[in-house]
Amino acid sequence: MFTEIRKLNEVTQGFLKIFNLAKVIKAPVNLLRISLLSDTHSHIDDKVLKLCNGSDEIWHAGDIGDLAVTDKLQNVAPVRAVYGNIDGSQIRSTWPLHQRFMAENVDVWITHIGGYPGRYAPRVKDAINQDPPKLFITGHSHILKVVNDKKLDLLHMNPGAIGMYGLHQVRTLLRFSIEGNRIFDLEVAEIPRK
């Protein structure tokens, strides 16, 4: 009987060692580096591609203009995109109107015309109020804006416009990281429009 208790103690101590070791070793968490752009209107250049280098994914919030744009972006990193109001049938048959997906533990919704916190577009208003994502991304306005929607507990991003078409004086895109459920290291990249 004494030897049986001793074996049980050895097993228990061994389990505790493994348990304590497991508490020290944390499961690996993936870090996603995202480049977010919109409103290329058929224009993509080496400056933009260089800014996207090192990204794990590139997200495009619509008004692509030409599939050559997303083809060039896909040479840098995998692309997730939506079509915008200026995009023709070829782009609309390649990319959806909405993308809703999980990036790590962050629920992401990308659409081209979605409005802003407190003024969401009619076509998304009910859905976003019933089931808000953690990160809501739009394009269309050509105005860079990052806003917390405290009512819906979501982060809204519009990267502005990186193309040459429109009234914007500076071409912009956003870069950020996602790890688990955190969105951080947000950067604004600006390219003077000439």
CATH number of the domain bearing residue 177: 3.60.21.10
Residue 97 domain-assigned (yes or no): yes
Residue 121 domain-assigned (yes or no): yes
- What tens digit of pLDDT does each residue of 24-65 get? 444 456 899 999 999 999 999 999 999 999 999 999 999 999
Number of domains observed in the structure of the chain = 1
Residue 3 domain-assigned (yes or no): no
Radius of gyration over every alpha carbon of the chain, rounded to an integer in angstroms: 22
- 10: which residues sit within 8 A by CB, 6+ positions away? none
CB 110 within 8 A of CB 59: yes
Of 56, 16, 52, nearest in space to 37 by CA: 52
Of the pLDDT bands very low, low, confident and very high (cuts 50, 70, 90), residue 194 is confident
Residue 14 domain-assigned (yes or no): no
88 φ/ψ angles, rounded to the nearest 5 degrees: -85, -175
Tokens (6 digits) for 45: 């250049």
Residue recorded with tokens 């979501």:
154
Tokens (6 digits) for 123: 């076509």
* Cβ neighbours, 10 Å, residue 117: 17
pLDDT of residue 20 exceeding 60: no
Residue 1 domain-assigned (yes or no): no
Enclosing domain of residue 97:
31-192
Of the pLDDT bands very low, low, confident and very high (cuts 50, 70, 90), residue 167 is confident
User: Tell me, what DSSP letter sits at residue 185?
Assistant: E
* pLDDT of amino acid 7: 41
In which element (H, E) is residue 37 found? strand 31-37
Of 38, 19, 61, 54, nearest in space to 168 by CA: 38
Residue 26 domain-assigned (yes or no): no
- 150: which residues sit within 8 A by CB, 6+ positions away? none
Residue 107 domain-assigned (yes or no): yes
pLDDT of residue 10 exceeding 50: no
